[in-house]
Amino acid sequence: MSLDRRKFLQRAGAGLAFGLAPIRGAQRERPANPGRPLSPSSGVGLPKSWREMRKLDAHNHVFTPVHRPNANWSEVENLVEAAEVLGIAKLFCSHPIVGGALVEIETVRDANNSVLAAMKRHPQRIAGYCFVQPGNGPAALDEMDRCLDAGMIGVKLYNQFKYSDPAVFPIAEKCIARGIPFLGHSAFLTDPRALAGQPKTSHALDFCALARRYPELLLILGHINGGGDWEWEIKGLRDCPGVFLDTSGSVLEDDTIERCVKELGHERVLFATDSTMEGCVGKVLSADLTAAQREDIFWRNFQRILDRRRS
Amino acid sequence: MIIDINAALGHYPFRALRSNSADQMIALMERNGIARAVVSSLHAVFYRDAHRGNEELWAEAQPHGDRFIPVATVNPKYAGWERDLAEAVEKWKARAIAVVPEHHGYGLNDEHGRAVLARISEYGVPVVLTQRFEDRRQRHRWDAAEDLQMAALLQAARNQPRLRFLLVNWQGLDGRQLANAGLKGRCLIDFARLQVVFRKDVPKLIDTLGVESIAFGSHMPFDYVGPSLVKLENIERLRPADYEAIAWRNAARFLGLGE
């Protein structure tokens, strides 16, 4: 499809992201059998007005170097366009260095600059996490200050260090001092090849270790459905009440959200997509939740975290 | 109306599934406005004798009339598989036949794969290829199956130029390569693992293979149905003329269900 964004929004009727036309489709036409008359008020399918439900995507990314001259903005524009269509009010994005690579601080700054550029272009839609590597030492802490002073709201760590590693502690301490969330890449990988590719990826028990050392840290276990045994992860968090988790990831497995709520309580569950945008909206819409629980997960729980930031 | 082309009944050895009996799946379909579902048997994947799973599937689906479109799973390495296949197609009137080479221990293009695909092609019914049931990163230590690879699919398409392919739960399909392998007009792909907005996998496939190549699929009961409902509603916003084709017409045409 080659629609540009303006045409897309016109056709989608999504220029007013939260004032969309009446939804048709699955809600409009849901016969129990072919040919059976439809019942628009049947309550079948997606909840009514799902696009208008406020949503904060607590885990997303800007990977394109859009801060450089003649940048290709298509990834960012597609991201914003999708958020508008899906009723996601704000995307909280980072640009981690992936693959387990440990890089110089200049490369880290360059990655963060792409997020800052996207924030500048779409200030109402994109907010940023500052990616840092504990291995950069004091320079990592300086980079946190630079990013936060430029408007970012938290830090994102990837898989260069286990979060139980003492190298991570100064970053956690700075997060506490500034009252900002620490979003951590996570997975309990049971596939030997996947684990070999990222041996220092933290799992629930690593998060618990950090949370026990720093109970006041706003710690978020990233993408419960990002690949790996999510049931193990949920059980691993049961005894660590201070740790939140986000719902993102490409795995859309039934019962994930309900298991999170049952084992951890819905207040610890944060809506996010990690680029699987339709899927992750759909998961929360499908989950057996009360309206209040769904609203908390879609945005209130994360808003409470944001409200705890100190200048 | 919605026809879901990506569903399964039965137990999965490595994770508890809700809604995996026929009655439970009917209730799930009712809650989500799904009129009919193409279902295969997970037991047929894991039993030594796959056909015993097929027998269970037909027995379980039968009381529900046309709500289920059962698919038989054939293991070409098992004794008498040709007779089982014949029974499924000729006696039970199966609309499609599934093969699971990774689980049954052969390759799509080795002697077993070529034999079973050739026989399915002779019957004139589509073959169902599920790329994977679960993400490999969470595999149980006894779960040795790998994802099906597009290269093997392309080779199989070239080996069997008249065979039609129902491709469910796939990701990473390149429409141009599929077209080059002669699959334009003879494949139907569900969007359970594809994106309509952001990555735009579905619009890209439509550009190269035509809208007739895409259908609604949810991978229930493994996955939530909501993600696919969201995608369908986005299809309707972006490409309203394509809505009905993707919601059900393409599936009905491909499987010969009539309208």
Token couple for B254 = 């491909």
Residue with tokens 């050895």: B13
Contact by Cβ (8 Å): A24, B239 = no
Give the residue on B whose Cα is nearest the Cα of A12.
Answer: B237
Q: How far is B198 from chain A (nearest CA, A)?
A: 5
The predicted pLDDT at position B259 comes to: 67
Span B169-187, pLDDT tens digits: 999 999 999 999 999 999 9
Give yes or no for residue B206 having a pLDDT over 80.
yes
Which residue in this structure is represented by tokens 């996010």?
Answer: A272
Model pLDDT for residues B84-116, shown as the tens digit of each residue: 999 999 999 999 999 999 999 999 999 999 999
Task: Give pLDDT, residue A66.
Answer: 97
Could you check whether the bond before residue B161 is cis, i.e. omega within 30 degrees of 0? no
Work out the average pLDDT over B61-69: 96
With b for 16 or more beta-carbon neighbours within 10 A and e for fewer, the A151-168 pattern comes to ebbbbbbbbbbbbbbebb
B139 and A190: CB-CB below 8 Å? yes
pLDDT at A311 (0 to 100): 62
When pLDDT is averaged across residues B130-157 and rounded to a whole number, the result is 97
A191 and B196 within 8 Å at the Cβ level: the answer is no
Closest approach of B40 to chain A, Cα-based (Å): 18
Partner-chain contact A44 B236, CB within 8 Å: no
Cβ neighbours for A152, distance < 8 A, ≥ 6 positions apart: A112, A115, A116, A119, A127, A128, A129, A130
Whether chain B has a CB inside 8 Å of the CB on A227: the answer is yes
Min Cα distance B159 → chain A (Å) is 31
Nearest CA in chain B to A21: B237
Confidence band, pLDDT 50/70/90 cuts, at residue A44: confident
Please check the confidence at residue A25 and state whether its pLDDT lies above 50. Answer: no
Query: Tell me, what's the pLDDT at A273?
Result: 98
Interatomic CA distance for residues A72 and A75, integer angstroms: 8
Which one of A2, A34, A45 has the shortest CB-CB distance to B32? A45
ipTM value greater than 0.85: yes
**pLDDT score, position A281:** 98
The shortest C-alpha distance from A250 to chain B (Å) reads 8
Closest-CA distance of chain A to residue B97, Å: 24
Q: Say yes or no: A26 contacts chain B, CB-CB below 8 A.
A: yes
The answer to whether the Cα torsion of B167, B173, B175, B181 is positive or negative is negative
The whole-number average pLDDT for the span B49-72 is 97
Interface test with B, best of A8, A278, A280, A298 (most B CBs within 10 A): A278
> B2, A30: Cβ pair inside 8 Å?
yes
Exposed/middle/buried for residue A74 (C-beta within 10 Å: 0-12, 13-18, 19+) = exposed
Cβ-contact A256, A219 below 8 angstroms: no
Contact residues on chain A for B1, CB-CB shorter than 8 A: 29, 31, 34
Q: Which A residues 236-265 touch B at CB under 8 Å?
A: 250-255
Through-space distance between the first and last CA atoms of chain B, rounded to whole angstroms: 11
Q: Would you say residue A11 has pLDDT above 90?
A: no
Candidate from A14-18, A170-174, A203-207 with smallest mean pLDDT: A14-18
Write out pLDDT tens, residues A184-226: 999 999 999 999 999 999 999 999 999 999 999 999 999 999 9
**Closest chain A residue by Cα to residue B30:** A32
Cβ within 8 Å, pair A278-B234 = yes
Rounded to an integer, what distance in angstroms lies between the CA atom of residue B111 and that of residue A295? Answer: 55
pLDDT value for A42: 53
CA-based R_g, chain B, Å: 17
Chain B CB contacts of A78 below 8 Å: 197-200
* pLDDT attached to residue A99: 81
What per-residue confidence (pLDDT) applies to B102? 98
B32–A254 C-beta distance less than 8 A: no
Q: Are residues B32 and A252, on separate chains, in Cβ contact within 8 Å?
A: no
Per-residue pLDDT tens over the stretch A62-116: 999 999 999 999 999 999 999 999 999 999 999 999 987 899 999 999 999 999 9
> What confidence score (pLDDT) does residue A101 get?
83
Q: How many CA atoms lie within 13 A of B41 on its CB side?
A: 26
Q: Collect all residues of chain B within an 8 Å Cβ-Cβ radius of residue A228.
A: 137-138
> Smallest Cβ distance to A281: which of B141, B219, B230?
B230
pLDDT of the residue at A34: 38
Residue B258 predicted with pLDDT over 50? yes
Cβ-defined contact of A1 to B223 (cutoff 8 Å): no
Average pLDDT over residues B201-205: 97
Of B137, B227, B235, the CB nearest to A187: B137
The partner residue sitting opposite B230, judged by closest CB among A2, A33, A278, is: A278
- B138, B199, B230 ranked by CB distance to A190: nearest: B138
Per-residue model confidence as pLDDT tens digits over A256-282: 999 999 999 999 999 999 999 999 999
Separation of alpha carbons B30 and B225, rounded Å: 11
- How far apart CA A74 and CA B198 sit, in angstroms, is 10
Residue pairs between chains A and B whose CB atoms are closer than 8 Å: 169
Which residue of B lies nearest to A10 if distances are taken between CA atoms? Answer: B238
Please say whether the beta carbons of B214 and B185 come within 8 A.
no
CATH fit for domain B3-254, picks 3.40.190.10, 2.60.40.10, 3.20.20.140, 3.40.50.10480:
3.20.20.140
Best of B12, B207, B233 to disrupt the A interface (most A CBs within 10 Å) is B233
B229/A46 Cβ within 8 A: yes
CB contact under 8 A, B35 and A32: yes
Cα–Cα distance measured from residue B155 to residue A237, given in angstroms and rounded to the nearest whole number:
45
Q: What average pLDDT score do residues A119-148 get?
A: 97
Could you give all domains of chain A from N- to C-terminal order, each with its CATH number? 50-306 (3.20.20.140)
CA nearest B221 in A: which residue?
A254
